[in-house]
A and B are shown apart, each in its own frame.
Chain A
């Protein structure tokens, strides 16, 4: 297969949406991995297991990630707006959270490879980085990003909507039974 044929298979997907990202967290994590070359076995019924000299490897990979909280206006409808005389109450959809980018800080990767060992392969590195990514996603609910997104959304939208003739009669609310852990929806 030539290169052009391969590139043609990598098709980008386009999707219309209406998401208002209201808060951004920049996160840093260092993932580490180490392994030893071991001599293991048994002879005459005696087991042995010891590290070979000059057989260790270790690596530290710094990762920067961006996580954003957003309100999905794709699900916004008449049901989200209540008119009560002059007053208008807008109930915004539940905030969600997305890991929007990650980046390996290649300049600061530290590695040690002993004499008897081969260097870390590209496949090994990408595997460690994926495990680091999974660890970041696991930690996202504890950061309370969705809760902060609600507050940021109010701070952003209220001054804008108060430019309308409705003035101070507009209030913004969210669903009352809000649970950060169930609402956080880190994707990708």
Chain B
């Protein structure tokens, strides 16, 4: 008898709660969603500090669209397309300056600079990369291969004979101007072979 009473009482309570919830307009909700934590990281580690002497005379800002596809046995192909950004800097490495680089002959200052070239082979800003299209899942090795392809494309597009010549001519203009400012009216700028 007591058991029957307890069951009825429980049912009545549940019904009452249900009616209360409906009449008071209580909303019943359910959601499944990822709860993100902001990107975090340890403080910066300085791995090395160096004195350098890279004199830049031409800046080439480049962006390259690079993609890769892979076939699947079943279903459609996978595809990954990214846009990489890089800045190639052409100039002279003053660390390669010869001891007699500055030579005064009469009233003419002869300046012999190291050859013009790419100052730093690390020129891609990979953390600026845009993800343009992704179909399927890709591993880190694939992204590394895309980076290398982007680098080759940028070198090929930017390291042209014409750009090297523009950098050389600008080096002549800028170095001449600098020494004119220091009081040398006749300046001849040449490059090491």
Q: How near does chain A come to B136, taking the closest CB pair, in angstroms? A: 10
Name which residue of chain A comes closest to B24, CB basis.
Answer: A45
Which chain B residues border A173 with CB–CB below 8 Å? none
Q: How far does the alpha carbon of A25 sit from the alpha carbon of B51 in the complex, in Å?
A: 9
Contact count A vs B, C-beta below 8 Å: 267
Known A-B contacts A109-B140, A164-B102; A21 and B35 likewise in contact (beta carbons under 8 Å): no
Which chain A residues border B26 with CB–CB below 8 Å? 42, 44-45
Cβ-based interface call for B128 (8 A)? yes
Q: How far does the alpha carbon of A106 sit from the alpha carbon of B139 in the complex, in Å?
A: 9
In this complex, how many residues of chain B approach chain A with their Cβ under 8 Å: the count is: 91
Which chain A residues border B60 with CB–CB below 8 Å? 12-15
Cβ-based interface call for B189 (8 A)? no
Which chain A residues border B87 with CB–CB below 8 Å? 100-101, 188
Name which residue of chain B comes closest to A143, CB basis.
Answer: B46
Name which residue of chain B comes closest to A90, CB basis.
Answer: B182
Enumerate chain B interface residues (CB-CB to A < 8 A).
17-18, 21, 24, 26-65, 67, 80, 82-83, 85-87, 89, 94, 97, 100-102, 104, 109, 119-120, 122-131, 134, 137-138, 140-141, 143-144, 147, 154, 157-158, 163, 166, 170, 174, 177-178, 181-183
Q: A14-B166, A36-B35, A100-B87 are in contact. List 11 more A-B contacts (CB 8 A).
A: A7-B65, A10-B83, A12-B63, A14-B59, A23-B50, A26-B48, A29-B41, A31-B39, A41-B28, A106-B144, A155-B51
Q: How far does the alpha carbon of A136 sit from the alpha carbon of B138 in the complex, in Å?
A: 26
Q: How far does the alpha carbon of A182 sit from the alpha carbon of B31 in the complex, in Å?
A: 47
A103 touches B124 (CB 8 A): yes
A29 touches B45 (CB 8 A): yes
B52 touches A122 (CB 8 A): no
Cβ-based interface call for A115 (8 A)? no
Q: Pick the contact of A17: B57, B82, B143 (CB < 8 A).
A: B57
Instruction: Tell me the A1-40 residues at the B interface (CB within 8 Å).
Output: 3, 6-7, 10, 12-40
Cβ-based interface call for A54 (8 A)? no
Chain A 41-65 near chain B by CB (<8 Å), digits 1 or 0: 1111100000010010100000111
Q: Pick the contact of B131: A6, A21, A123, A160 (CB < 8 A).
A: A123
B43 touches A139 (CB 8 A): yes
Q: Pick the contact of B58: A14, A38, A102 (CB < 8 A).
A: A14
Known A-B contacts A29-B42, A38-B33, A160-B101; A130 and B47 likewise in contact (beta carbons under 8 Å): no
Q: How near does chain A come to B111, taking the closest CB pair, in angstroms? A: 10
